[in-house]
Amino acid sequence: MSVVRKLQRARQLLQTAGLGGLLHAVLKRVFPSGNPWLSWDRRVLFESTIDLATVRTDHPATARPLSPEATLQLVGFNDLREAVLVAALRRGESCWCLTDDSVRVGYAWVSSPSIIRSDTGYRLDLDAQRHYFWRDVYIKPEFRGQGRIQQIFCSWVRSLGTEGIVNVYTEVDPSNLPSLQAHRRLGFADIGSLFMLCVLGARFCFYRGPRFPSFQFQFLPHNLYVNPQRY
């Protein structure tokens, strides 16, 4: 990225997210997420409560879960490393992929029920069993702005059946305005902010909101994205 484009990006972030948003973006570039020795992250935590009895079924389920073999073929689709995909599969997560005329449009990962761990390392301590974590949503640039995230999300929700209540959680980078807007349109509600600082494997997580403990500490001297277990 050229210096001019970097300055334009910084100016846009300052206008839309304020000084705090710009500082967050700089810190993430200097101390990238996943680095177990020195990293910083800030996310908006979202929750969606869904009554499966009210889910509409008159639209076709256009996204499908990929098999493990097909999931590994995603390497290169969004510069995903094979180690990340293998770790996600071993954790019991499923990858839901949307295709259009045999062209892969986008995908999203969904955790197994009740295994709720934030991508920043924050534990969501929940009592009920039907909780899911929705993450790593990706839509190809040429297909964005067409309701594709909704197609994937609705297809996955329909697969859960027609009875009961489920809660879905996700994290979104506060500088990713299109993703924030897309999740709000899906019915996700902002329930707080997460801040994470990792130094030499010591992970300090801070939650600002009404739902969960405000502080957590864990020693996790490994990259969370390539770890096969959700700590």
Percent of the chain surpassing pLDDT 70: 84
Sequence-distant (≥ 6) Cβ neighbours of residue 171 within 8 angstroms: 43, 44, 45, 46, 118, 119, 120, 135, 194
34-50 average pLDDT score: 88
pLDDT at 60 over 70: no
Average pLDDT, the chain: 85
- pLDDT, position 47: 95
Residue 30 pLDDT level (bands cut at 50, 70, 90):
low
Tokens coding 227: 């770890």
pTM reported for the whole predicted model: 0.84
pLDDT at 134 over 90: yes
Closest CA to 56 of 127, 162, 204, 193: 162
168-177 average pLDDT score: 90
* Side-by-side strand order, sheet with 189-199: 63-65, 94-100, 103-110, 131-139, 165-172, 38-51, 189-199, 202-208, 215-219
173-198 average pLDDT score: 91
The per-residue pLDDT for range 189-227, each reduced to its tens digit, is 999 999 999 999 899 999 999 989 999 998 988 888 888
pLDDT at 95 over 70: yes
Q: Which of 9-13, 94-98, 142-146 has the lowest mean pLDDT?
A: 9-13
Residue 37 pLDDT level (bands cut at 50, 70, 90):
confident
41-54 average pLDDT score: 92
Residue 35 pLDDT level (bands cut at 50, 70, 90):
confident
79-107 average pLDDT score: 89
Q: Which residue has the higher pLDDT, 18 or 112?
A: 112
